[in-house]
Every structure is written in structure tokens, then in C-alpha cells.
Chains A and B, each alone.
Chain A
Amino acid sequence: MNRKKGDKGFESPRPYKLTHQVVCINNINFQRKSVVGYVELTIFPTVANLNRIKLNSKQCRIYRVRVNDLEAAFIYNDPTLEVCHHESKQRNLNYFSNAYAAAVSAVDPDAGNGELCIKVPSELWKHVDELKVLKVHINFSLDQPKGGLHFVVPNMEGSMAERGAHVFSCGYQNSTRFWFPCVDSYSELCTWKLEYTVDAAMVAVSNGDLVETVYTHDMRKKTFHYMLAIPTAASNISLAIGPFEILVDPYMHEVTHFCLPQLLPLLKHTTSYLHEVFEFYEEILTCRYPYSCFKTVFIDEAYVEVAAYASMSIFSTNLLHSAMIIDETPLTRRCLAQALAQQFFGCFISRMSWSDEWVLKGISGYIYGLWMKKTFGVNEYRHWIKQELDQIVAYELKTGGVLLHPIFGGGKEKDNPASHLHFSIKHPHTLSWEYYTMFQCKAHLVMRLIENRISMEFMLQVFNKLLSLASTASSQKFQSHMWSQMLVSTSGFLKSISNVSGKDIQPLIKQWVDQSGVVKFYGSFAFNRKRNVLELEIKQDYTSPGTQKYVGPLKVTVQELDGSFNHTLQIEENSLKHDIPCHSKSRRNKKKKIPLMNGEEVDMDLSAMDADSPLLWIRIDPDMSVLRKVEFEQSDFMWQYQLRYERDVVAQEEAILALEKFPTPASRLALTDILEQEQCFYRVRMLACFCLAKIANSMVSTWTGPPAMKSLFTRMFCCKTCPNIVKTNNFMNFQSYFLQKTMPVAMALLRDVHNLCPKEVLMFILDLIKYNDNRKNKFSDNYYRAELIDALANSVTPAVSVNNEVRTLDNLNPDVRLILEEITRFLNMEKLLPSYRHTITVSCLKAIRVLQKNGHVPSDPALFKSYAEYGHFVDVRIAALEAVVDYTKVDRSYEELQWLLTMVQNDPVPYIRHKILDMLTKNPPFTKNMESPLCNEALVDQLWKLMNSGTSHDWRLRCGAVDLYFTLFGLSRPSCLPLPELGLVLNLKEKKAVLNPTIIPESVANNQEPVNTTNNHGQPVVFQNTFSNSQEEEEIDMDTVHDSQAFIYHHLNMLERPSTPGKEQSSGEVTMHPVSAAPLSVFSKESNSSKHSDHHHHHHHEHKKKKKKHKHKHKHKHKHDSKEKEKEPFAFSNSPASARSIRSPSLSD
């Protein structure tokens, strides 16, 4: 919180500087999943009276701490283990989120905090006062880690190496503290020595250069010695140990690839491309790859597909593929390119603070985009930008905004930048995973906007400057103060930009970086024939959540008969209308070629257009230089012209989406023409397929000829001599391969007048399956077959059910019987000849769920549950779990929900656990405004427990649980919980009474004037509530949302009940403790030495207390004794090192 915007450079939040760290792992036991080792940190005090050293450590059992060989006392306190300590029946997400943010703050290394607090032995105080070096030696072990380090141990015969057992580090953002004690911050850089002693059959891959490998004396084990001379943050340290196969890159010998046994041929093929990515980045950045070596490791049960660490990247083994696989190839290459981009920005160059994260994600995403443009072409690049833009716009409009550069001012949080969210954005570890994904997406889009402003050349110069500064700094071996040059900050980055380009981009930064929200334009136009002027009206919606007002230039491109013209409009506060003079007169019969934007001249059939107007089409912000959503109105023929003749793929895609609303023969013709045009970008053609299906359905009564796309498909992919038989597969032309895959899927969406899939289409698809012949193909057809199954699933329509009869075989629809026959055969064949990534099983499971949902097959989750078990391929599991989630929702099954939640807690694969929560959030069994039998107290308790303490080992999972809780119950107290008996709660410690937050009515609170807005660190905002039954001043939580009906209902209920505390459930639930961070604040208050503890925190407390004193008289007094007791032994009860810390002298003396 001591961060200042300015050119001051980096100020460490710690009273010491870390210069070197040794990590030595002596023993790794795969059987017991345990790790034993020590770390040694070399630190230089920067203040004279340093007597405590705070470090980060989670999960580790710490045996012994020595400072300069003297035994040192330490305490271990991790408030994130259990966020809300007192078993209060609050169950209010607002409360939780605040408490969680406070807990994360309390151990945040960027604020100088940590879980582990080491007391410098008094013998060394003098030594410290001379600012001399300290060596902190910590012996630790790790037993069955639940996060941070993931063991994969297949359950079979043989030695660990034969089984392919491996272990690797993983996690979301800075998670290194999960596997060794360190300063787990991206801003504390130091050099490293890493040593791992592993089984002789295993390889340990880690950061930096492998200096040597030495056998142990019994020759059964090997020790890998790594040195990392480039200063690196602990958060960028990683490890992977396993019986890896080693492949030295044939093009770059300093690059080594590792994969699990038997996969070497795939590894060879997959990585054969990597050197080109290297060359590309080095060329555009005019900078060598900063590390002396690079390692890629492909492991199973990956936490994320791509994880970048200093000089190595950990990938999911599922990215490996053979030369026969088409679809995975570009995806894998993209992952490789992403990982490499993050080597430069993210690993080598680190960030100063969390609020600078956007710069790193932005730059790495941006250069990755440049690579995409070069590798896959401009069309693919623009398509990708459009896709990302649509995603971020949709997300921001849904949730209310993504803020790239949050600035947290001291104390005043009335303008809390993220008040619309149910989580704090102050820390990476409190963020919803989806938010973080969108954050990265927005970051690179904003980088692109900056590029638009200052040109790519300058942009690359800026990057080069950052990199060369960093590499100069990194080579300063013994000048650790220089190392902060390797950290990037928002201000430093902006300063570089202005130095290099001389341009002021401050307005742009203010708009997109310092502020959240996107722009929503509504455009319409009229042509004034008299003045020959286009009257364009552009409105904005800036009142809806997630929007912001845009003021500034906006490019509009108008295609007229005489050519394409760009106009830059100034969007201002009040001007909605813009007059744009037209260059050409309307004309009719003059046959003349029409020049396009790119200089091309084409013949057009102009008969469709308005005779009076020279306008062919209009585009607003064609270059996507604003983060916006545009809804533009123009006539159908203009969209059709735009689709046919505009060469920009984004414009074509926009036109296709717009044409959905114009089901006319002309639209049909335009779409069909695009579909047939081979020069057209394949993704546009794929999109046209789906639009054509929609149009055909809207035009069903007037549609003539065979079903849409059928004759087209026949012409393109079937035999000339027998049109009902598809040619034997030849996927050499990827464009037509993708089209061939997509067309049947789109065709299956066709419906006849009875809203059924036409028989002709179904038979056509069945024939495609029947005659599919891949024997002569160079490529695998597994994705194609999977999509044919998807097509079958798409053709399914709801069963006609006569008075809810039970689904049996006898009343099975004959068409469905055919479909089921195919699915059965495919699914069974997969057992004998499995396809790559089991794509066919995945599609079959999805199709079966569709059949169940449409009432053809009895709804039953048993099949999916068996496929969801541990031991199936991850894609299959996800597909099966998705079906179970869907079943849970549709059938409101409590049993399945429990089954899913059990899996969230117990599944060995972190990704699956995360994904279940994610899928439950996206497809929830019920939502907060819904009555559901599933919504009951036990479920609330269970989920509460899950996010409160059950997921402390995985940030991502905990945030996932928070998301789910939010989706199910909202921010306030879940409506299914019984009303607490007491409306008012007394807190003796804080000396105040509050309206029990469990019954807080937010909607009313929202209508009232705030009297006190000093809301900080988890304090709910205080409001005056005139509604309260005891006519007292009360504190009401306003951030929550609730409908007023519920509120009134609650109050009526309350009045009806006896007000005496007759039916109290337990003592703990009555007393409220609004400040979850209290234990921590007590700690920091009493430790007067730490200069960097957050002062606001207890300032605020004191402030609060004063305020409360005059309220004291209103108290109901009951049940406060138990509370006091609970507070005292606050920290030690959670500490794994508690046994030790009790013996050690107390820190607060």
C-alpha cells in the first residue's frame, strides 16, 4: 500500500533485501508424496533495527530455523487457512470476501507480510545494526501437499520410474510458498542455487543452468545442481521431476524438451516448430532470449495448459500430438508461443506490484498476437482480436467491468474500484479465475490500442528498451539494488513510451487502464439526398453496468459507389449526429467498377441498392481501436454488400451476424456465395454455415430446393458419379477440411415446418458416417467423426411425449434409434481403437446427454458418473462431468450435487476440481432468485466450509468456490437459511451493536443515505436504518443485493416471532465479529517494530471504536463471553509449526 505513482523507482516493502537463495531438496518420496529439504536465504538488512523477518510459507512443516547458525524462534500464522474463524452463522458472501481479502493482505509479500515470522536472535542485533549479511537457514518438509506441488503416481506395478510417476510445481500466480519457504513476491529478485536429489532413473528439471549431476554415494540417486545467475523472483521458480525422456532440440542445442515415457515421437513432432517462435521473438524484440537455456516439460494432470517460469515452461502432456492430427497443431503451437512470450515478459522481466500485472500480460499477449499475425495470417489475427474483444465486452457488460490498473488509495474506499464484484481485486489470489482470464485478454487488447496510437515500431522499441535495461541490470552480479530495473511498473512503462514516441497516451491510459468498462455504441444513419450528406447518429449507453463514456476520435468507413472513404468523427459529450459528406452521386446504369478499400476494383450487381443513395455500406470503428460493442443499423442489402465485397474478415463476420435478422432469398444467396468462395477466409465460411441454417429455419415456409447446404456439400465433397457417397477423406486442404467438418453440424440445425430435423438431412448425415473412409488419408479423421456425432446430436428435437410416459425402448422414435445405433457403435469402437484425445467419446457423451434431455432416453447420470471417474482421460472426464452438472440442474438432484461437491474436495486432479466448480457456476442448479429444493442449509454450510477452509491450498479453487457461492446465493445471506432469532448483535470487543448482518436487507439500505463511508478492510458500510424494529442505529451492509420483498417478508417474520432469545442455536452464532482481520491487526498493533505493517488497518480500528462508544447504550447484552475466549489463542492453533512456536519466545514481548 506504500506504492506511489511516479518515477521514484521501486521501494521494497521489506526491511531487507534478498540477494541469494539456496533451495535444496534432499529427498522426494513418491510413495508417501513427501519432500524434505532446506532453504537458505541470504539477506541484507536495510534498516538498523530489523529484528523480525517475515517470509512466505504454506503447507510446509518447518523444523528448524537458524540465522547465521544461531537457532531462531519463529511463529507461523496463516489466516488464509480458515478465513472466518468464529463459527458465526453469518454465511454472507460480502463478509467473507472482505475477510478473505484481509487475510490475503495479512500475508501478502508485496505488503511486506508473510505467514512465517522469524525472530532475529538477540545476539545478532548488533550485527544487524551494521546492516551486515544474514543467512537464514530453514529446514522444512512437505507431506502430501494439496497444492503448489502436484504428485502424479499411477497405481500399477513397478518402480516409480517404470510407472511414469512424476511431480511438478504448479499454482496460480505466486504460489511458490506452497512448496518452499521464500519471499513469494514477483518483485523480490535474487540469484538461485537449486539442488534436487532424486532417484537415479529420474530427471529433475528446474530453472537456470544444470551445472552438474552427481551420484550419491550409494549410486542409487543423483543430485541435480542448478544455478540461476539471473535475478529471479521466487514466484518464477519451478520444478518437475520424473522419468522424463530427453530430447535436445535439433535446431537449438541449448533448448531441451522433456516428456513422459513412450511419448518421445510425439514430443519430437510437437516441438519441431519451436525454433521458429524463438527466431520470431528475437527478431521483433531485437534481443536475444535472456536465459542461457530453455526447457519445456510436458506433464500429466497439469494445473494449467501452459505455465511459464524462469527459463522453463511446464505444459500439459495433452498438447503433444503426432503429425496426423490437424486440429491440435495450431492450438499447441499457440501454447508454445504464449509460453515463450512470457519468458521475456513475466519471467525475465517481472513486475513491481500486482497493479502492474497488466503491463506484463499485455506485452506478452501483444507480442504473441504479432506472432499469430505472422504465422496464421492477418485474417486469423483480426478474427482473434475480434473474438477477444467480443469476449471482454460481453464479460464487462455482464459483471460490470475489468480494471487493469487498480490503485488503492489509503483508507478512502468510497470509490472502491470493484464494488460491483463479489470479490476483491486487490490481490491476484482473491480474483475469480474468469475475471483473471478476461483481465489478460483486456491487457493485450489495450496494448494493441497503444500500438495504434504510437505505431508498432515505437512499441517494439519500448519493449527493446525494457529488455536491454533489464539485461544490463541482470548482469550486475553484486549490485542487487540495480535489479529493480528488471521490474516493470505502469509508470515506468508509460514513461518509456513517452520517451520513445514523444506522444502523450495519458488519455488512452486513463480511459482503458485506470478505469473499467467498455463502450457501447448504437449507430443509425439517414442519407440526405439534397445535401448529398450522410447523417450518422451515434448514441452511447454509459449508464449500464460495465460501460463507460467515450469521448474522442472515432473512425467511420463509408463505402460509396466511387470508393471507400475514411472519416474521423469527434465523439463529444452532446453531439449525437454527425454529417458526413458523400463523394459520389447516386447513379444507376453506369457500369463501372467500384474501388474498394484495398485498392481492388470489382464489378457489383447494384440492382439491390437504393437508387437514390450512393452508399453501399458503413462501418463504425473498423480497426477496433476502441474497446466497444457496436450495434449498427443498416439495410439488409447493405449488409449483403458488406459480406460479399468488404475484404476485412471482421466486417464479413459482422455482416453474417447481422443477416440473421434478414431471412430473405437475397441473404441466402449472399451467404451461399460466400460459402462457395474458396478465397474467402475459412472461419467466415464456417460462420456463414450457421447463419444459413438459421435463415433457412426462419424461411421454412418459403424455402425451395433441397435443404440448405446439402447440394453445396455434395458438390464439394461427394463423388461426381454417385452424389450420395462422400469422397474418401483427403484433408490436405485444411480450409475445406474445416468446412467439411462444420457443414453437417450446421445442417443438422435445420428444422422443417413441424420443427423437426428434416429426414433428408438426418439420412444425409448418417450416410456421411456410413461412407466415411479414412484409409487413404494422411491425417486422422477423429475430429471429423466427432463432429459428425455432434451433428447427430444437433438433429435431435424434443420427444413428443404422451402424458409423461416412461421412456422405454418400445416407444423409441425410429430416427432416434438410428442415431443411438451410431452412437453405441462409435462409443464401443473407442474402447478398441481409441481416437486422439478421445474426441469421439467426448462427442458421444454429449450426444447421449442431449438425447436424455430431449426425453428420448431415460435421464440417468450413472453412465456419465462412470466416465467422470479418475483414470479416464481429462477431456472425457470434463464432458462427463458437464453432463452430470446439467443433470443436477435439470433433475434438481441433491444426490448428484453432493457427488460433484465431494469430487471437488477429493479428486486428485486440481484442474478437474476447478472445472467442476466452474461448470457449476456457469450452469448452476439454481440461482439466488430461484426457489429450489436443493437450496438448503446443509448445502450453504458445505459450500461455506469449502471456501472458508476446504480450499486453502489452491487459490484458484477457493475463488471458484466463491464464484459458485455467489451464483447460488448472491452476496447476502442465503435465503434458505432460517432467520436468526436476534436482530441485533453485540460485540463487546468492538464496543458496538450491529443489526445482525444475516438479516440485512440490502435493497432498503441502498435507498438510504450513507452516514459513514469509511469502509476499509472488511468493514461493512454503515447506514442509518429507519426500518429497524428497535429504533436504533444499526450497521447495514449495503454492498449486497436483495429484493425488497424479501426484506419486508423478513421483517414481518421477525415481528411475529418472540423477541426473547428462547431458541438460540448456539452461543457462537449470535455474537458477530465484523472484522475478520482482527487477529492480524492485534498482531501488528502489538509488534511495534514492523514499519511496514498496514497502518490503515488499526487506525481504522481505533477510529471505529471511538465512533462506537456513544452507541454503546443501545446494547442488548448477551452471549459475549465465549467470544473473548476464542480470540486469544488466535494464531497458533492453525500453525503446523505450533508445537515449536509454543516453546519459542513470544514475539509480542
Chain B
Amino acid sequence: MSRSGSKHTTTPADNYYLARRRTLQVVVSSLLTEAGFESAEKAAVETLTEMLQSYISEIGRSAKSYCEHTARTQPTLSDIVVTLVEMGFNVETLPAYAKRSQRMVITAPPVTNQPVTPKALTAGQNKPHPSHIPGYFPEFPDPHTYIKTPTYREPVSDYQVLREKAASQRRDVERALTRFMAKTGETQSLFKDDVSTFPLIAARPFTVPYLTALLPSELEMQQMEETDSSEQDDQTDTENLPLHISTDDSGPEKENASVLQQNTSLSGSRNGEENMIDNPYLRPVKKPKIRRKK
């Protein structure tokens, strides 16, 4: 029901669902009329519809199970009967009920045409199987998927043209871009009388000038990744992480001792045998000693 608002954009499957539902509603309403109701609340009708739908669905589901149980794909009448019996419905009463006099006849909903699935594009004639391929094998695909049509052009000029094209394209893009930037922003000019022929984007000071000057641009970074993917820096990264933060929370005496030790055993650490790096800058910052005033 939440979909009702967006009917315009519904899919065919939705449409069927809605149509079925509407039919069921009509059925429920007519049954109610038959039973003598003048009017009914919408919620009540909805509930009854829901019940009816569930019931019918259950019959269908159950019938399908029976038929599959007997290794068939299509349910037969007996499947339905068994189902109804199983659900506690007295089948005997059904013909009488169907033929009751005061029954209302509901016209069948208009059947819309099955939407046509567009045919796959076929180009040319599919090749028939040669004699050595049994007929149950799939057909050959369309010829255009495997047939090549060679075209001929000078390979030499090709490179030249490509370079030429790439160069002029890049130049055009750059010029257009810079001109646009110049048009939309502040400019400086080399000629006082003419500001448009050689517009220079105005120089703008940076707050942190070294960042743009030193860091490679994103474009360059990308390029670097493309040209060189086997960077080894990553290995050393993990080593540097302060893995040993948990180690020292001991008193200051111990700390000093470890510093001394570090000083004397520098040669040892240089061999890189220890995995843990003891660098004073990686050590945790200590809490201040609490001095009590008396």
C-alpha cells in the first residue's frame, strides 16, 4: 500500500499484484453484500481481503507441495482436493456453494497484453552447426561477435597523428581551463592596455606555501602509483609503530635506568635485532608527580 503513491513508476509485476488485490477486494465486497452488509469500513475489508489472500495462497502453496511430492510439476485437481481436506474444508459442500442462487458474478478483470520482450539484436545469419557438432549444442552466437573486419591505415602516421592529437588536445584543454580561471577570477596583465590577450591568473599568497610547493599533486601521485607499484616503504612503516606503548609504566628510576641502558647499548640496537624500537620520542608521556602541599 505504501506503493500506491507511486503508481506511475510501478513495474509490470507490481501491476499484477495490485490487480489481483483489487479483484480480491471486489470478491470480499460482494461476499459481504451477499451476507447482507450495507457498508463496511475500509480496514475491515482490508483485513478480510488479507485473510482471503492468505487462505488462497496457502491452498496454492500446499497444492504445489503435494504435486511436487509426487514428482510432478503441475498440480492436479486431486492435489487441490487433498489440500482442502487437509485444511479442514469440507469439499462436499463446494459444488452446492458454487451453484447458490444469490451469488454475485464478478466480471473478469481486463487482461492486458503480455509485454513483448524486445528481441535481441541479430545481425546476419547465425551459422548452422557443422555436421560433427550434435544438434543439441547451443547455436553459434551472432556473427558480429566473432567476425573481424580488418581496416587499413598507415601505422607510421598513426603515431604522429596520435601524438599530435594528444598534444593539441591537452593544450586546448589547458588553455580553455586557464582562460576560464582567468575570466572568472582576478587577473594580472603584462600589457596595461590589454588585459584579455595574455591573461595571467593573479598571484595569491598561501597561508602555508611549502605544502603546495613540496607535496606532489594528486595527478602526480596517481601517475607514480601507475608507473611504480612496487614501493617498499610500506614494510618499514609497521616497524615504526609504537608497539611497545604498554611496556613502561614503572617509576622514574626505572625509566632513567632504561635510558642509560639505551645509551650504552646503541651498538646493539643498530644491528636491528630487536623488533621493538626504543626511541624516547615514542615513549608515552608521563603523568605529573603529585606533590602534596603541607
Contact = CB atoms under 8 A, between A and B. Distances in A.
Interface stretch (A353-361, A866-874, A1024-1032): A866-874
A200 B160 CA distance: 60
A10 B154 CA distance: 84
Nearest to A839: B213
Contacts of A838: 212-213
Contact of A248 (B203, B204, B281): B281
Contacts of A765: none
B135 interface: no
A429 to B, nearest CB: 30
A941 to B, nearest CB: 32
Interface in A927-975: none
Interface in A816-841: 820-821, 824-825, 827-829, 831-834, 836-838
Interface in B207-242: 207-217, 219-220, 223-224, 227-228, 233, 236, 239-240
Interface string A259-294: 010110110110010000000000000001000110
Interface in A242-263: 246-248, 250-254, 256, 260, 262-263
A322 interface: yes
B101 to A, nearest CB: 87
A870 B171 CA distance: 32
Interface stretch (B63-71, B102-110, B174-182): B174-182
B193 interface: yes
Contact of B210 (A318, A771, A831): A318
Contact of A254 (B163, B202, B223, B266): B266
A215 B198 contact: no
Contacts of A719: 159, 163
A268 to B, nearest CB: 6
A272 B231 CA distance: 13
Q: Which residue, A248, A268, A722, A809, has most C-beta atoms of chain B within 10 A?
A: A248
Given A324-B224, A867-B203, A209 B166 contact: no
Contacts of B38: none
Interface stretch (A64-72, A700-708, A756-764, A854-862): A854-862
Nearest to A229: B263
B289 to A, nearest CB: 8
A323 interface: yes
B192 interface: yes
Given A164-B208, A824-B199, A831-B181, A318 B283 contact: no
A693 interface: no
A834 B193 contact: no
Contacts, number: 216
Bin the interface of chain B by size. 35 or more
B216 A771 contact: no
A773 B240 CA distance: 38
B193 A808 contact: yes
A323 B281 contact: no
B193 A211 contact: no
A873 B208 CA distance: 9
A780 interface: yes
Contacts of B96: none
A773 B166 contact: yes
A821 B197 CA distance: 9
Contacts of B228: 323, 778
Interface in B97-142: none
A1060 interface: no
A200 B236 CA distance: 27
Nearest to A323: B224
Interface in A1075-1118: none
Contacts of B190: 820, 848, 851, 857-858, 860, 863
A247 B236 CA distance: 11
Given A164-B208, A808-B191, A860-B192, A210 B252 contact: no
A871 B206 contact: yes
A427 B221 CA distance: 49
Contacts of B197: 809
B86 interface: no
B205 interface: yes
Nearest to A319: B214
A252 B286 contact: no
Nearest to B240: A248
A725 B157 CA distance: 12
B244 to A, nearest CB: 12
Contact of B211 (A253, A262, A321): A262
Interface string B256-274: 1001001100110110100
Contacts of A780: 216, 220
Nearest to B193: A808
Nearest to A726: B163
A213 B240 CA distance: 19
B160 A725 contact: yes
Contact of B285 (A222, A777, A862): A222
Contacts of A863: 188, 190, 200, 203
Nearest to B194: A809
Given A253-B279, A858-B191, A869-B205, A836 B239 contact: no
A203 B279 CA distance: 14
Contacts of A820: 190, 198
Contacts of A872: 203, 205-206, 209
A152 to B, nearest CB: 9
Contacts of B156: 721-722
Contacts of A778: 224, 227-228
A715 interface: no
B282 interface: yes
A822 to B, nearest CB: 10
Interface string A1058-1074: 00000000000000000
B201 interface: yes
Interface in A177-221: 200, 203, 209-217, 219
A154 interface: yes
Given A268-B233, A770-B167, A777-B227, A216 B210 contact: no
A860 B191 CA distance: 9
Contacts of A773: 163, 166-167
A858 B190 CA distance: 7
A222 B283 CA distance: 13
A209 B263 contact: yes
A1011 interface: no
Given A269-B233, A848-B190, A871 B286 contact: no
Contacts of B207: 154-156, 163, 871
Given A252-B270, A829-B174, A832-B181, A266 B214 contact: yes
B270 A248 contact: no
A776 B194 CA distance: 39
B36 interface: no
Contacts of A837: 213-214
A214 B286 CA distance: 5
23 contacts: A215-B288, A253-B277, A318-B214, A322-B216, A721-B160, A722-B156, A725-B164, A771-B167, A773-B167, A776-B227, A777-B227, A778-B228, A780-B216, A820-B198, A825-B174, A827-B201, A828-B181, A829-B178, A831-B204, A834-B212, A862-B188, A869-B203, A873-B213
Interface of A: 154-156, 163-164, 200, 203, 209-217, 219, 222, 246-248, 250-254, 256, 260, 262-263, 265-266, 268-269, 272, 288, 292-293, 300, 317-318, 320-324, 719, 721-722, 725, 770-771, 773-778, 780, 807-809, 820-821, 824-825, 827-829, 831-834, 836-838, 848, 851, 857-858, 860, 862-863, 866-867, 869-875
Given A263-B214, A323-B224, A860-B190, 12 more contacts: A163-B207, A200-B285, A216-B288, A253-B270, A253-B272, A292-B266, A725-B164, A771-B167, A825-B175, A831-B204, A837-B213, A866-B203
Interface of B: 156, 159-160, 163-164, 166-168, 171, 174-175, 177-178, 181-182, 188, 190-194, 197-217, 219-220, 223-224, 227-228, 233, 236, 239-240, 252, 255-256, 259, 262-263, 266-267, 269-270, 272, 277-283, 285-289
